[in-house]
């Protein structure tokens, strides 16, 4: 058994409850940008959303399994990669797409749809795909989780705050317009803060094992960004859509992954390190890519492609 499979990164109940509240607040902030008519675009102009969601919800998990079979990481690291890929789009993706000059409306649609779908998709994907991961026989007792328990947690952490945020936006649009920017900024600070707190609280483990997960996360994230972009261009989508789909595929809700790891997997070392480092690295990669694209602005900002 690998050393990283034996370490456990545990938060006490008070710290875990604080993380849960932080994630719920972040999702409330995301919901302030959502309206029901965002979802109507999926019906009226389905091509770009379907291409984007197929990249995020189908290609990314398959890509992850391929990387696991190619590089054969130790069991808990492989499971961390798989859980991250099964989570919905990350909460900072809309801002990164906006910076990049990409199709922000498409980004919001993908984030909101994948987040709502996470109630079923995240537990389903993880419980069905985890047995395919090679070399995890010694972790069977650590990774079993009843899907309904994970569904309940995701509903509490994501769906309820999203509904509250959307109702707030609908009922109090003027107040929402004033609060959106500061709440978005505060959400980003909270997200980075609890990732950094997780890293700081487990500094020794990070020092000892970061070199193992660093390159894997870099390759996993870069492959996700390239897959989203390449898949979009293969379907003939315009550049603004390709940028949005690339970033949406490459930014996953690693905060949710980290909290699920603490709630259900006893802070299993490799899983927690993958999720924590992904949470830091995808901010670096997404905003670097967004700034590079921002330097190459497009003359036409189209709506969702038909």
pLDDT > 90? residue 58: yes
**pLDDT range class, residue 302, cuts 50, 70, 90:** very low
- Lowest-pLDDT range of 59-73, 91-105, 272-286: 91-105
The predicted structure's pLDDT at residue 283: 80
Cα(210)–Cα(203) distance, integer angstroms: 10
**pLDDT exceeds cutoff 60 at 305:** no
Six-digit token pair at 244?
């949005």
What is the spatial distance between Cα 280 and Cα 121, in angstroms, rounded to a whole number?
24
- Average pLDDT for residues 107-135, to the nearest whole number? 83
Contact, 222 vs 279, CB < 8 A?
A: no
Higher pLDDT, 220 or 100: 220
For residue 120, the model assigns a pLDDT of 84
The label of the residue with tokens 């094992």 reads 209
Q: What is the pLDDT of residue 41?
A: 62
Mean pLDDT of 49-55: 94
**Confidence class for position 301, pLDDT limits 50, 70, 90:** very low
State how far the alpha carbon of 57 is from the alpha carbons of 123, 154, 209, 271, 297, in Å.
Answer: 13, 17, 29, 20, 28
How would CATH label the architecture of 10-294?
Up-down Bundle (1.20)
Please report the pLDDT score of residue 304 as a whole number: 40
The per-residue b/e assignment along 257-283, b for 16 or more CB within 10 angstroms, e otherwise, is bbbbbbbbbebbbbbbbbbbbbbbbbb
Query: What pTM did the predictor assign?
Result: 0.78
Whether the CB-CB separation of 250 and 285 falls below 8 Å is answered with: yes
Residue 300 has pLDDT above 70, yes or no: no
**What is the Cβ-side half-sphere exposure of residue 247, based on CA atoms within 13 angstroms?**
35
The answer to whether the CB of 83 falls within 8 A of the CB of 127 is: no
Nearest 5°: phi and psi at 4?
-70, -25
CA–CA gap between residue 35 and residue 292 (Å, rounded): 30
At residue 8, does pLDDT exceed 70? no
Instruction: Label residue 223 by pLDDT band (50, 70, 90).
Output: very high
Q: Report the 10 Å Cβ neighbour count for 147.
A: 14
* pLDDT for res 63: 96
């Amino acid at each position: 058994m690998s050393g990283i499979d034996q370490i456990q990164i545990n938060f006490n109940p008070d710290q875990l409850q604080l993380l849960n509240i932080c994630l719920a607040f972040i999702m409330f902030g995301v919901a302030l940008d959502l309206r029901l008519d965002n979802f109507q675009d999926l019906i009226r102009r389905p091509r770009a959303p379907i291409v984007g969601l197929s990249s995020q919800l189908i290609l990314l998990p398959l890509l992850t399994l391929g990387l696991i079979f190619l590089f054969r990481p130790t069991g808990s690291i492989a499971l961390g990669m798989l859980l991250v890929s099964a989570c919905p789009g990350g909460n900072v993706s809309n801002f990164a797409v906006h910076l990049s000059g990409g199709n922000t409306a498409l980004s919001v649609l993908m984030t909101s749809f994948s987040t709502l779908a996470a109630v079923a998709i995240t537990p389903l994907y993880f419980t069905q795909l985890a047995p395919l991961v090679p070399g995890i026989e010694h972790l069977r007792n650590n990774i079993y989780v009843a899907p309904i328990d994970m569904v309940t947690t995701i509903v509490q952490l994501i769906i309820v705050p999203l509904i509250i945020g959307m109702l707030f936006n609908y009922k109090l649009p003027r107040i929402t317009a004033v609060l959106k920017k500061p709440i978005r900024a505060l959400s980003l600070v909270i997200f980075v803060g609890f990732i950094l707190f997780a890293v700081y609280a487990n500094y020794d483990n990070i020092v000892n094992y970061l070199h193992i997960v660093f390159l894997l996360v870099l390759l996993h994230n870069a492959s996700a960004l390239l897959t989203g972009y390449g898949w979009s261009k293969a379907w003939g989508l315009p550049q603004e859509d390709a940028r949005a789909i690339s970033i949406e595929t490459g930014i996953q809700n690693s905060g949710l992954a980290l909290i699920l790891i603490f709630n259900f997997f006893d802070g299993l070392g490799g899983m927690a390190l993958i999720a924590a480092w992904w949470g830091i690295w995808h901010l670096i990669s997404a905003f670097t890519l967004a700034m590079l694209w921002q330097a190459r602005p497009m003359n036409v900002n189209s709506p969702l492609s038909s």
